[in-house]
Amino acid sequence: MTRVLLVEDEPAIADTLVYALETDRFVVAHALTGGDALEIFAQQAFDFVILDVGLPDMTGFDVCRKLRENSQVPVLFLTARAGEIDRILGLEIGGDDYVTKPFSPREITARVRAILRRSGAVAEFSSSAGSPKSTRALQHDSVAMRIHCHGVCLDLTAHEYKLLLVLLENQGRVFTRDQLLEKAWYDPGAVTDRTVDAHIKTVRAKMRHAAPGAEDLIQTRRGLGYVLVME
């Protein structure tokens, strides 16, 4: 039984989502405000939180920050603005994924399942043996300077693009954070290795968004750095 806390103030959206989630056999609690959500979350155990960014009493960002003080529960954001995506996925807010409005209820339940599969699998440091990966999982369009993930064009910032390109062009090679800073930033002195981690996180999230359920192509080598593996 998977318990989901849905935080959404628009009744029409909330009703549709509650119905879709319950049809998919999730147990759903619904909160209309950030304050209510935090209160309910403190009293009951949840496996997942779906969080609208625009709430009447506080932002979904504030709610997520509060949750993150003592919980690593997966958080899927509902946002009306594409401009909020980088903040959502950044270290400051700590969201796991996002869906932009308008969306279909099916899209939400599929994402919830994909995120739960990932968090349950703890695949961060797993061996890549035997995992089905398409060689076309990532494709670089050098003319347009864009990278496609499973056919979907990734909406990357300049640094994310360079970072992913370095990894993509050197598949199987492990890069330390310092090496990635040097290759993907013009002025590596101005940033820290935490910057690399933050950008890797947003790149991963954007790839997951492009291909829900697909495996992480960027692997973390603990104590060493990152490597992109496609088979």
Site for Ca ion in 138-157 (CB under 5 A): none
Q: Which of 9/47 has CB closer to Ca ion?
A: 9
Residue 62 sits in the site that holds Ca ion (CB under 5 A): no
Q: How many residues does the chain have?
A: 231
Minimum CB separation of residue 6 from Ca ion in Å reads 12
Instruction: In whole angstroms, give the CA distance from residue 102 to residue 113.
Output: 19
Residue 52 sits in the site that holds Ca ion (CB under 5 A): yes
Number of residues interacting with Ca ion: please give it, by CB under 5 A.
3
What is residue 58's three-state secondary structure?
A: coil
Residue 9 sits in the site that holds Ca ion (CB under 5 A): yes
Sequence-distant (≥ 6) Cβ neighbours of residue 219 within 8 angstroms: 124, 125, 128, 226, 227, 228, 229
Residue 94 sits in the site that holds Ca ion (CB under 5 A): no
Q: Which of 60/225 has CB closer to Ca ion?
A: 60
Buried b (16+ CB within 10 A) or exposed e, 143-175: eeeebbbeeeebebeebbbbbbbbbbeeeeeeb
Minimum CB separation of residue 108 from Ca ion in Å reads 15
Q: Which of 34/225 has CB closer to Ca ion?
A: 34
8 A C-beta contact, residue 122 and residue 115:
no
Residue 105 sits in the site that holds Ca ion (CB under 5 A): no
Q: Tell me which residues touch Ca ion (CB under 5 A).
A: 9, 52, 54
